[in-house]
Structure 1
Amino acid sequence: MKKFMALLLMTSAIPAQAAIIKIDITGNLYQVSESVESRFSLGDEVTARLLLDTSVMGSEFYPDTYLFSNAVVGGFISVSGYTATFSNSARAFVTDDEFGGAMDRFLIDDYEANAADVNGMAFHDLFLNWQDNSATASQGFTLPNKPSAVLAYGLPYGGVDWLTSDGQNRITFTATQVTVSPVPESATWAMMIAGMGLAGAALRRRKLTVSFG
C-alpha cells in the first residue's frame, strides 16, 4: 500500500502542461457571399477547434513574420452541417510589430483541408486570424503556448473560401467565445491511467483482506 501511495503521489505531481494546446471557438457568420447564400445564412452558428503544437520552431517567412510549419496537428471549422478539417499542410504564422508596429497577428491557413465543394464550387482554403491592433500580443516570434498568450490577441475571425481567396465565394465568422486548454502528453495520460489501475487493485486487495482475513 505504501508503494502504491508513493506512486500515486508521483503521478499527481506530474505537470499537465504539454506542448499541444487546444483552442475551442464559437461564433456566428457575419458575411456570406451570394454564391453560397442557398447553403449558409448570416448569423449561422460556427464552431471551430485548433490543436497546436507549440514546440514547433519557426522560420522567417518575410520581414516581421515567422512561419511555423507542422504546428497545426488537428482541428476543424463547422457550420450548418459543413465541416472543414485541418490537414497536415496547415500553416501557422506569427507577426510581431507588423507594418512598422501597427499590428501583431496569429494566423492559420490551410489550402489542403479535408472539405467538400459547395454549390459546384471546389474548396479553396480555410483560415483563422487573430489580429491585435495594439501590437502588444506578440513578444517576439513565438507561438502562443498558454491560454493567456492566445487570449492576448483578442477574439479571432475566420472563414472558408471556394474557388478563390478574394472573398467572392466566402463565408466569414467572428468569434464570440474562445477557450484554451493544454492537452496532457501521452506519458502523463499513461501515468494517470496506471495510477488509477493501481488504486483499483489496492482497493480490491483491501476488500479481499477484510472479507477473508
Structure 2
Amino acid sequence: HSGAEYDAWLVNIMEGDQFSSGFVSANPNSKIPALMDHSTNPPTRVFESGSILLYLSEKFDAFLPKDPRKRTEALSWLFWQMGSAPYLGGGFGHFYAYAPIKIEYAIDRFAMEVKRELDVLDKRLADNEFMAGDEYSIADMAIWPWYGALASGVVYDAGEFLQVHEYENVQRWTKQIAERPAVKRGRMVNRTFGKPETQLRERHDASDFDTRTQDKLDPEGSS
C-alpha cells in the first residue's frame, strides 16, 4: 500500500525483550504486538492488535467498509475476536496442549466454548464471503490467524479432537484467505520457524522478501 512502508522488529519474548524500556515505551502492558508511527510528530504509539488494525485502516483508508452498516458489522466482528480468542488461546490451547497436568474439566469446558465459537463463525460465513459481508476487512485479518489456523488443524494438534472439518464455511473462508498474496507475505514477517524460505525474521524494506529470507542469509544452515 502506497505510504505504508514499515520496519518489523523481532521481539524475543522468551528472553524478556518485551520488558525493555524501549518496548515498554511503545506498549506499557509489555505485550506484542505494538506499533510506533513515526510519520506523526510526535510519534504515535498504538498497542493491542485490534487498535493497531483500526488505526492503520483509518490512516490508509483501507479494509474497512464505507457503508455505515457494513462498517459497524466489521467492527463488531473485530471486537468479537478480542473477546473470544482468549478462550481459544489462554483457555483451550493452554489446558489442551501446554498445561503440565491434564485437567479433564478444563479441557472439556474450553473445548465446548471453542466449538461454539466455530459454530458462530460458520453460521456467519454460510451467507457471507467475509466477516463483514462481501468485503475483506480488518475483521477477517484479526480472526483468521486464530480460527483459520485452528480450522487448518495446525495449532495445538487439535483438529481431530475439535472435529474442525465439520465447519465447512470456516474451512472455505480459511483456504480463501490463505491464498491472498499479501497474507502469504505477511505470514513470513518475524517468523522464526518452518521452512527457511518462509522466514523473514526482520523486515525493513519491501525488497527483503526477495533478498533477506533465512535461506538467503544462512544458505548452509537451510540446506
> Which TM-score applies when normalising by structure 2?
0.23
If each structure's helix is expressed as a fraction of its own residues, which one has the higher value?
2
> Which TM-score applies when normalising by structure 1?
0.23
Q: Which protein shows a greater Rg? A: 1
